[in-house]
């Protein structure tokens, strides 16, 4: 009897194991069948399932996706990930927003810092008592001092303000400024600013990033804005590029053309023609060993003359920062080797 009982127990356990395996197999098969159905539902949202129209309207107030042609409610209870408040101007938006600004390398702390504002009001909007205001004033003052406690933080605070000033004068966009600030931080981390004036390193970093990003600025332009000699900027630039192993490409003269055309108030056809002239000159190797600014200025001068929007050599030379002699020499070379039909000077 005991043996029979043991057999029945063993057979029952085997039976349970088999049934569990079958259930698991069925669940897996159902999952496989359900996957394509979900994909079909997601794909069907792009068009109305009733009339096939793609004119779908999202009603954010009701949380519904409605067909604009037949009126079918395709989806409801849609989750809205945007803010629940509205703002009608920048000031109102600043007051209502609860999220911080994105990370910016243009700030010493990258923008990840808590600041005590100047409003002297509590969370309900009521005014704080005068005794409490004095305490907040002291807290605010020490908070600012603590945020620039180390020498590196003080260095970044001064350098980034100078960087922003020079970039504003040169008309550099925000993404270029962030790249410049990032490269300057690398110089600080590597200890490349020791023994060198802070302004010189900032000017050299601006020159390097502008060339790397295809928005070149001449050493003379940066020297005029920063008040540092071209020799010092060039020396710091060579040192930084060598130490950080930055592979900066040669300056393309075509990148100067839009600036010169805009400054001389010439049309788009002149810009297009000047770029064509420079491409031909690059193919024939006429630009190697010559200043890209001078070649670009001569190409703009030739294109403007050919299209009847003539400008004097002095006007072009002043914009490009070169001499009239340079423009004449480059003009004669381009005209001779490219066989351009231009009126003689």
Number of structural domains (the chain) is 2
Which residues on adjacent β-strands are paired with residue 64? 59
Domain membership of residue 156 as a residue range: 151-243
Is pLDDT larger for residue 31 or for residue 222?
A: 222
Residue 34 domain-assigned? no
Q: Give the tokens for residue 71.
A: 């009126």
Is 133's pLDDT higher than 80? yes
Please determine, for residue 270, whether its predicted confidence score (pLDDT) is greater than 80: yes
Name which of 206, 210, 299, 208 is nearest 245 in CA terms: 208
Among 341, 337, 268, smallest CA distance to 309 is for 268
Six token digits for residue 60: 């954010």
In a domain, 235, yes or no: yes
Indicate if 235 and 265 belong to the same structural domain. Answer: no
3-class SS letters over the chain: CHHHHHHHHHHHHHHHHHHHHHHHHHHHHHHHHHHHHHHHHHHHCCCCCCCCCCCEEEECCCCEEEECCCCCEEECCCCCCCCCCCCCCHHHHHHHCCCCCCCCCCCCCCCCCCCCCCCCECCCCCECCHHHHHHHHHHHHHHHHHHCCCHHHHHHHHHHHHHHHHHHHHCCCHHHHHHHHHHHHHHHHHCCCCCCCHHHHHHHHHHHHHHHCCCCCCHHHHHHHHCCCHHHHHHHHHHHHHHCCCCCCCCCHHHHHHHHHHHCCCCHHHHHHHHHHHHHHHHCCCCCCCCHHHHHHHHHHHHHHHCCCCCCHHHHHHHHCCCHHHHHHHHHHHHHHHCCCCCCC
Task: List CB contacts of 290: < 8 A, sequence separation 6 or more.
Answer: 330
Mean pLDDT of the chain: 81
Domain boundary among 243, 274, 292: 243
Query: Tokens 């349970």 identify what position?
Result: 16
pLDDT class of 282 with cuts at 50, 70, 90: confident
> Is the same domain home to 320 and 281?
yes
Q: Is residue 211 part of a domain?
A: yes
Classify residue 115: in a domain, yes or no.
Answer: no
Beta carbons of 222 and 207 less than 8 angstroms apart? yes
The residue that leads in pLDDT, 164 or 82, is: 164
The per-residue pLDDT for 44 is: 45
| The pLDDT value given to residue 303 | 92
Query: For residues 226 and 203, what is the distance between their CA atoms, to the nearest angstrom?
Result: 7
Q: For residues 136-154, give the mean pLDDT.
A: 82
- Tell which wins on pLDDT, 169 or 91: 169
Domain co-membership, 188 together with 213: yes
pLDDT in tens, 57-73: 888 778 888 888 888 88
Give the residue from 196, 124, 209 showing the smallest Cα distance to 170. 209
User: Quick check: 257 and 278 in contact, CB under 8 A?
Assistant: yes
Strand duo 73-75 + 64-67: pairing? antiparallel
Residue at a domain's end among 243, 270, 286: 243
Same domain for 171 and 221, yes or no, is: yes
**258 and 233 part of one domain:** no
Contact 301, 313 (CB under 8 A): yes
Q: What is the pLDDT of residue 321?
A: 87
When pLDDT is cut at 50, 70 and 90, the band that residue 344 belongs to is: low
Distance CA 16, CA 56 (A): 52
Mean per-residue pLDDT for 270-285? 90
Residue 127: inside a domain:
no
pTM for this model (two decimals)? 0.62
Residue ending a domain, choose from 243, 270, 296:
243
CATH at 293: 1.10.472.10
Distance separating alpha carbons of residues 129 and 121, to the nearest angstrom:
9
Which one is predicted more confidently, 265 or 145? 265
Q: Does residue 134 lie in a domain region?
A: no
Pair (260, 310) in one structural domain: yes
Q: Are residues 295 and 315 in the same domain?
A: yes
């Amino acid at each position: 009897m005991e043996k029979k009982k043991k057999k029945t127990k063993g057979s029952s356990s085997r039976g349970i194991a088999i049934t569990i395996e079958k259930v698991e197999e069925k669940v897996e098969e159902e999952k496989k069948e359900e996957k394509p159905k979900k994909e079909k539902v997601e794909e069907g949202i792009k068009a109305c399932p009733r009339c096939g129209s793609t004119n779908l309207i999202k009603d954010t107030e009701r949380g519904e996706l409605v067909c604009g042609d037949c009126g079918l409610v395709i989806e409801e209870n849609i989750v809205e990930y945007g803010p629940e408040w509205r703002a009608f101007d920048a000031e109102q938006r600043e007051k209502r927003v609860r999220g911080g600004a994105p990370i910016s390398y243009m700030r010493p702390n990258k923008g990840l810092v808590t600041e005590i504002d100047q409003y002297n009001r509590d969370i309900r909007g009521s005014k704080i008592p005068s005794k409490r205001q004095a305490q907040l004033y002291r807290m605010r003052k020490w908070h600012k001092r603590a945020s620039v406690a180390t020498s590196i933080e003080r260095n970044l605070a001064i350098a980034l303000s100078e960087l922003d000033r020079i970039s504003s004068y040169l008309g550099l966009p925000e993404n270029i400024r962030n790249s410049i600030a990032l490269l300057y931080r690398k110089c600080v981390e590597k200890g490349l600013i020791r023994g060198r004036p802070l302004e010189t390193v900032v000017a050299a970093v601006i020159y390097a990033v502008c060339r790397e990003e295809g928005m070149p600025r001449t050493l003379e332009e940066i020297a005029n804005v920063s008040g540092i000699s071209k020799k010092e900027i060039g020396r710091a630039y060579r040192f930084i590029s060598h130490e950080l192993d930055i592979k900066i490409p040669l300056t393309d003269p075509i990148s100067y053309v839009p600036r010169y055309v805009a400054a001389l108030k010439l049309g788009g056809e002149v810009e297009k023609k000047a770029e064509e002239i420079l491409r031909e000159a690059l193919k024939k190797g006429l630009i190697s060993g010559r200043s890209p600014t001078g070649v670009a200025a001569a190409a703009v001068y030739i294109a403007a003359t050919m299209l009847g929007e003539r400008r004097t050599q002095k006007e072009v030379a002043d914009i490009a920062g070169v001499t009239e002699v340079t423009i004449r020499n480059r003009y004669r070379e381009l005209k001779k080797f490219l066989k351009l039909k231009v009126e003689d000077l």
